[in-house]
Amino acid sequence: MSAYSSEDVRDVEALAQGIHRITKGNWTVMEVCGGQTHAILKNGIDQLLPPAIRIVHGPGCPVCVTSMEVLDRAMEIASRDDVVLCTYGDMLRVPGTKTDLARIRSQGGKIRVIHSPLDACKVASEELRLGTGRQVVLFAIGFETTAPATAMAVRAAHMKSLPNFSVLVSHVLVPPALQAILSDPDHGIDGILAAGHVCAITGYEAYEGIADQYRTPIAVTGFSPVDILRGMLAVVTELESSKGDTSRHTRVINAYSQVVERCGNVAARRALDEVFECCDQVWRGMGTLPQSGFKLRSKYQALDATERFASETSSIACPALPTIQSHCRAAEVLKGKIRPTQCEAFGKECTPAYPLGAPMVSNEGACAAYYHHQSRNDPDVLGGSSR
Amino acid sequence: MTNFNFVCPVPDPLVDFVTQSHGAGGKLSQELIDKVFLPAYGNAILATKSDSGELAVPAKPGRLAMTTDSFVVRPLVFPGGDLGSLAVFGTLNDLAVQGAEPLALTAGWIIEEGFAICELHRLAQSMGDALRRSNVQVIAADTKVVERGHGDGCYLTTSGVGWIRDGIMMRGDRIQSGDRILLSGTIAEHGMAVMTYRNGMEFAPPLQSDCASLWPLVKKLLEEVPGIRVMRDPTRGGIAASLNEFAEASKCCLRVWEEKVPVRPQVQRACELLGIDPWVVANEGKLLVVVPKDDADQVLHIMRSDPLGVEGAIIGEVDATHPRKVIAQTRFGTHRIVPMPTGELLPRIC
């Protein structure tokens, strides 16, 4: 009846004991993926680790890193009378410069929450059939995990010649973000748990150069408590065994081999390559990172919503968000420099009901995960110590 | 359960769709009442067509309880229930958890112009079935029709009057350190049934709403365990919201053992697929009870011998360690705070 079996419980115990046994040094390990952040806090995985291991959270929440510029663009498009904007549920409440999509919807904006990009193609076909004259725009965000589904939707729309479908692409790529974080001399990160589902698509060849260049071991890691501890054990083992050995090659360890292969999913990679090419991309809180995003290839240019809606006319007036003197430190949270609870606004003026920054909105955001499942790392809550 | 093969028996001169005239108080209004509502759930009191329904107050010491709830569920018919049955059971359950035996209900329909009368008939029939099964009557009713585009098909508000006999007092501030927390069965079924059905997500077999009247179970509990501190039917916000309300009212810490909270594997999978925590999802036929430690086993026994509580469990205990907090103990022996859900991403479900 519980989400985890007694076998999982045994595995978790054994892995945690293994980590305790081998840990000698003090290590800071960053998990990259928002799904992992959530699983760690929900299951209290951090409470199972020795005090010498500190977990920090990376930029792996797609909603959190979507740039303000793209968000504002989406809101502008969603404010048009003749448009249905299709997007994922947790995008609705991310604050842009002036407002958010939920407010635009409350004022009559046609915003459809979808679970898969192909749903947007269905919406477009339906609008066409009904002769509403409406354009359907897919607001496509996410990492390499969601990009193949966007690619499929783009190909499907192209093949069907859907005249009323376009896509606002804001897909981002993990390796350039890791590179940006590790190239900061003050990053303080000893090891990384890479996102297993991203690697399932892309493989992990791209991570090998990063691990070696920055002498930081990376474990390809899944999302369940067992998976996360398996990745942690792999990283700590690598850190402990390479301590003081500067000549040693730093490795990527595949701790999620039941799902991930070194070369990834060839079919998905081919689909990505056919539809997208890499481009420089603005990350919220991190600035412009070279070659860190996708844009449509010229063959699919006609489906680019940015071009289709070049004019800035919007027809729905929407009340602005209340302006609050913001102390939001989301940018530092996304780079693993501080924990969410170290932000002065956390849990006070910034809560999931009234978020100041994107990481408080999404289910995968680190701030929301801390707010929902505050662990022993919060000195005032469970009586534990703040390391 | 709703009959999906319903054949519309409504003859002429009623038109097939609700029009503004059906809400204007004239001939068509009367026909709607006579041909749709009265056959479905009519009774001697409604038949008088008075402006108010009268009811006798029980001649025994006690207090009246009153509650009201508006139902705006989409879709109107979902696996395991529909708007009609939900509006009856939801209001009966609000009375029941207060310890109130239902005396009578009222029904207020708000119908959008253009709504199919067949569909309305089906919902009213289902409401009638639920009333008969619960042995309670609607004694006052109202129908309004709003212009096309100003409603979403049909909304239904039910109010209920109940009787709380002397000696029964259900209040969160009666919870004390040492008490036990019990849950009558598997959670998140109503919310996930509605959500997955609405999103066209198919599960085999389909997820079913747990929509049911809790009064028969509550009645047994009240008769045999007078010491019950408080009860709640964890609807919107799920058990997370109800537990937080208890923690706030009692200023105690409610500690819940995650592995004891029953969730059907299929519901668990649906929750994982949609990224939703089953603890924050609505139930419409589950009971949360807090009792003194010494009464816990008896409550569990009564629950499990009732069809509504066969999967009942003692899910946690109350202590004084972290006042006003709900703490979940995971299967891995770790802990987390269970916050009051914000619920902003949950679709409208009840």
Can you list the pairs that B201-204 forms with residues at least 24 positions away whose Cβ atoms lie under 8 Å? Answer: B201/A115, B201/B270, B201/B273, B203/B266, B203/B269, B203/B270
Q: Decide if B344 and A115 are in contact by the 8 Å CB cutoff.
A: no
Instruction: Return the residue of A nearest to B330 by Cα.
Output: A43
Residue A370's Cβ-count burial label (10 Å; 0-12, 13-18, 19+) is buried
Query: Number of A:B CB contacts under 8 A?
Result: 79
CATH number for the region B20-165 comes to 3.30.1330.10
Residues A75 and A190 both lie in one domain: no
CATH class of B172-337: alpha beta
Contacts A33 to B, Cβ<8 Å = none
Which phi and psi angles does A382 have, rounded to 5°? -100, 15
Does residue A36 fall inside a structural domain? yes
Per residue in B149-197, pLDDT (tens digit) is 888 899 999 999 999 999 999 999 999 999 999 999 999 999 999 988 8
- CA distance linking residue A277 with residue B70, whole number of Å: 51
B173 Cα to chain A: minimum distance (Å): 22
Q: What angle do CA B115, B120, B122 make, to 5 degrees?
A: 140
Instruction: Return the residue of B nearest to A34 by Cα.
Output: B275
Interface with B, mutate which of A41, A373, A374, A378 (most B CBs under 10 A): A373
Identify the pLDDT of residue A130: 95
- CA distance linking residue A367 with residue B234, whole number of Å: 27
Which one-letter DSSP state was computed for residue A172? B
Residues A206 and A349 both lie in one domain: no
pTM, 2 dp = 0.86
* Helix locations, chain B, DSSP H: 27-32, 38-41, 44-47, 83-96, 117-134, 189-198, 215-224, 238-250, 265-274, 296-304
Which among B122, B177, B160, B180 has a CA at the least distance from the CA of B297?
A: B180
Establish if B150 touches chain A: CB-CB under 8 angstroms: no
Which one-letter DSSP state was computed for residue B252? S
Does residue A322 fall inside a structural domain? no
Which member of B261, B327, B332 has the closest CB to residue A12? B332
- CA distance linking residue A266 with residue B291, whole number of Å: 58
Residues A142 and A111 both lie in one domain: yes
Does residue A27 fall inside a structural domain? yes
The proportion of chain B whose per-residue pLDDT surpasses 90, expressed as a percent, equals 78
Q: What angle do CA A134, A136, A138 make, to 5 degrees?
A: 165
CATH code assigned at A141? 3.40.50.11740
- CA distance linking residue A373 with residue A159, whole number of Å: 45
Is B184 within 8 Å of B286 (Cβ atoms)? yes
Which phi and psi angles does A328 have, rounded to 5°? -60, 130
Identify the pLDDT of residue A371: 85
Contacts of residue B236, defined as CB under 8 A and 6 or more positions apart, other chains included, come to B282, B343, B349, B350
Residues A41 and A154 both lie in one domain: no
Is A234 within 8 Å of A222 (Cβ atoms)? no
Establish if A382 touches chain B: CB-CB under 8 angstroms: yes
Contacts A225 to B, Cβ<8 Å = 332
* Helix locations, chain A, DSSP H: 6-22, 34-43, 62-65, 68-78, 101-106, 117-130, 147-160, 174-182, 196-202, 205-213, 225-242, 266-275, 305-308, 330-334, 366-373
Is B177 within 8 Å of B318 (Cβ atoms)? yes
Residues A163 and A273 both lie in one domain: yes
Q: Decide if B262 and A1 are in contact by the 8 Å CB cutoff.
A: yes
Does residue A33 fall inside a structural domain? yes
- CA distance linking residue A34 with residue A57, whole number of Å: 8
Q: Which domain holds residue A241?
A: 6-60+174-254
DSSP-derived secondary structure for A238-279: HHHHHTT-TTSPP-EEES-TTT--TT--HHHHHHHHHHEEEE
pLDDT tens for the 387 residues of chain A, in order: 457 889 999 999 999 999 999 999 999 999 998 889 889 998 999 999 999 999 998 888 888 888 888 999 999 999 999 999 999 888 888 888 888 999 999 899 999 988 889 999 999 999 999 999 999 999 999 999 999 999 999 999 999 999 999 999 999 999 999 999 999 998 999 999 999 999 999 999 999 999 999 999 999 999 999 999 999 999 999 999 988 777 777 899 999 999 999 999 999 999 999 999 999 999 888 889 999 999 999 999 999 999 999 865 555 665 565 554 467 888 888 888 888 988 988 988 888 878 888 788 776 788 888 888 764 444 444 433 332
The pair of three-digit structure tokens given for residue A100, joined into one six-digit string: 């958010």
Which member of A44, A352, A374 has the closest CB to residue B342? A352
